[in-house]
């Protein structure tokens, strides 16, 4: 296919270069395969990699700011991320292969397209503007079990799950200015009124991710189950963050991935954790089993993915055990 190619040195360059059917890109790990398979057919590619202000990790007094063009490998290896935001480092480290992690940017990862095989193989499905979600009644082993509406795909990003656990903010910009969106509100389940996977507008670009500074008593963990041992998308995952004060949990986030069109917060489990004691012996397996049994109470598994309920609960238990001992 034929397309124009432009290199942006500033955000203003990027906005000026964008026009109908144009696409921004940096790492290209999602867009290039889509072009090759015919899913995307941009008339122009606008390369953002030369915009200096979108790279790097800056540790501030009240936050850690990650530029949208920062590579997943850089995030996974950053000392502050590894010590204070361990679940995010683990999520980036488990995303895809080493080669892709050294190319893929955090902004692109959060905004990547659906991995539903029906969508990827050209079926006239709901995400392609059709009336039918073929995965719902077809091969739905990897489909959502909760939180879905008119489409049962799952969001493919591992870092997204961890970012919700850290109450991160996503900074986006258009020619009209900047807006800041909480990670939890950034992602959405496609429906008949709006088939997007996020609230990002066509003329907006992610510029940064902000992680609020957290208590030195915080602990976090990310775990993931895959079909292959490594380098695969999550069948189920869990990001857990707890803050401990006086040997009790005073704040908690429990977020599940691979089971919904968005990172899925288990608010009931978070509330159940508040005020619970954390002894030197940690939680018993029986206590964790009792807690996990209450997760995913609203799950609506399909014909071939009921296993995800137990698998997601097991991932949640593993992450909680890592944090609580």
Task: Give SS3 for 44.
Answer: strand
- Is the same domain home to 71 and 199? yes
Residue 135 lies in a domain: no
Same domain, 201 and 252: no
Same-domain pairing of 108 and 92: yes
**Distance separating alpha carbons of residues 120 and 113, to the nearest angstrom:** 9
CA distance 126 to 113: 14
Q: Which domain holds residue 22?
A: 1-52
Q: What pLDDT, on a 0 to 100 scale, did the predictor assign at position 38?
A: 86
Return the pLDDT at 2: 78
pLDDT at position 229: 67
- Residues 207 and 228 both lie in one domain: no
Q: Judge if 201 and 318 occupy the same domain.
A: no
Tell me which of 10, 34, 52 is where a domain ends. Answer: 52
Whether residue 180 is found in the same domain as residue 270: no
Q: How many CA atoms lie within 13 A of 33 on its CB side?
A: 10
Mapped to the 3 state alphabet, what secondary structure does 209-272 carry? Answer: EEEECCCCCEEEEEEEECCCCCCCCCCEEEEEEEEEECCEEEEEEEEEECCCCCCEECHHHHHH
- Residue that has been written with the tokens 């009931």 in this structure: 268
- Give the strand order in the sheet containing 22-25: 4-7, 44-47, 22-25
Query: 259 with 304, same domain?
Result: yes
CB 152 within 8 A of CB 143: yes
Q: Please tell me the predicted confidence (pLDDT) of residue 208.
A: 98
Q: How far apart are CA 315 and CA 287, in angstroms?
A: 15
CATH number at residue 277: 3.30.390.50
Helix (H), strand (E) at residue 180: strand 177-182
Using alpha carbons, list the distances in angstroms from residue 104 to 69, 74, 177.
Answer: 8, 10, 26
pLDDT at 30: 85
Residue 169 within a domain? yes
Domain boundary among 182, 212, 242: 212
Exposed e or buried b per residue across 290-311, where buried means at least 16 C-beta atoms within 10 angstroms of its C-beta: ebbeebbeebebbeebeebbeb
Is 246 inside any structural domain?
yes
Q: What is the pLDDT of residue 21?
A: 77
Enter the pTM of the model. 0.95
Residue 134 within any structural domain of the chain: no
Q: Tell me what percent of the chain is helix, strand and coil, each rounded to the nearest 5.
A: 30, 25, 45
Residues of the chain with pLDDT under 50: none
**Locus of tokens 């509406």:** 149
Tens digits of per-residue pLDDT, 278-305? 877 778 888 899 999 999 999 999 999 9
93 neighbors 237 (Cβ within 8 angstroms): no
The whole-number pLDDT of residue 228 equals 75
Please tell me the total count of domains within the chain.
3
Determine, yes or no, domain membership for 186. Answer: yes
């Amino acid at each position: 296919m034929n397309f124009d190619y432009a290199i942006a040195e500033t955000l203003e360059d990027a906005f000026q270069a964008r026009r109908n059917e144009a696409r921004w890109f940096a790492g290209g790990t999602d867009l290039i395969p889509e072009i090759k398979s015919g899913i995307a057919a941009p008339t122009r590619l606008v390369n953002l990699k030369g915009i200096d202000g979108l790279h790097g990790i800056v540790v501030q007094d009240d936050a850690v700011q990650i530029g949208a063009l920062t590579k997943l490998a850089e995030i996974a290896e950053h000392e502050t991320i590894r010590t204070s935001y361990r679940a995010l480092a683990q999520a980036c480290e488990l995303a895809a292969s080493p080669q892709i992690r050294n190319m893929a940017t955090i902004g692109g990862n959060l905004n990547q397209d659906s991995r539903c095989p029906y969508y990827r193989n050209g079926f006239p499905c709901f995400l392609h503007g059709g009336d039918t979600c073929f995965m719902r009644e077809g091969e739905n082993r990897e489909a959502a079990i909760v939180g879905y509406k008119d489409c049962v795909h799952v969001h493919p990003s591992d870092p997204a799950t961890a970012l919700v656990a850290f109450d991160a903010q996503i900074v986006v910009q258009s020619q009209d200015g900047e807006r800041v969106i909480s990670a939890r509100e950034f992602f959405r389940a496609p429906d008949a009124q709006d088939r997007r996977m996020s609230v990002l507008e066509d003329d907006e670009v992610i510029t940064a991710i902000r992680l609020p500074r957290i208590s030195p008593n915080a602990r976090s963990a990310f775990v993931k189950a895959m079909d292959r041992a490594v380098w695969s998308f999550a069948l189920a995952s869990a990001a857990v963050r707890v803050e401990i004060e006086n040997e009790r949990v005073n704040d908690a986030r429990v977020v599940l991935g691979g089971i919904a069109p968005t990172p899925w917060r288990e608010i009931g489990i978070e509330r159940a954790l508040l005020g619970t004691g954390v002894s030197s012996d940690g939680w018993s397996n029986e206590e964790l089993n009792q807690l996990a049994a209450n997760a995913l109470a609203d799950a609506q598994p399909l014909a071939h993915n009921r296993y995800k309920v137990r698998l997601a609960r097991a991932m949640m238990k593993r992450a909680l055990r890592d944090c609580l001992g």
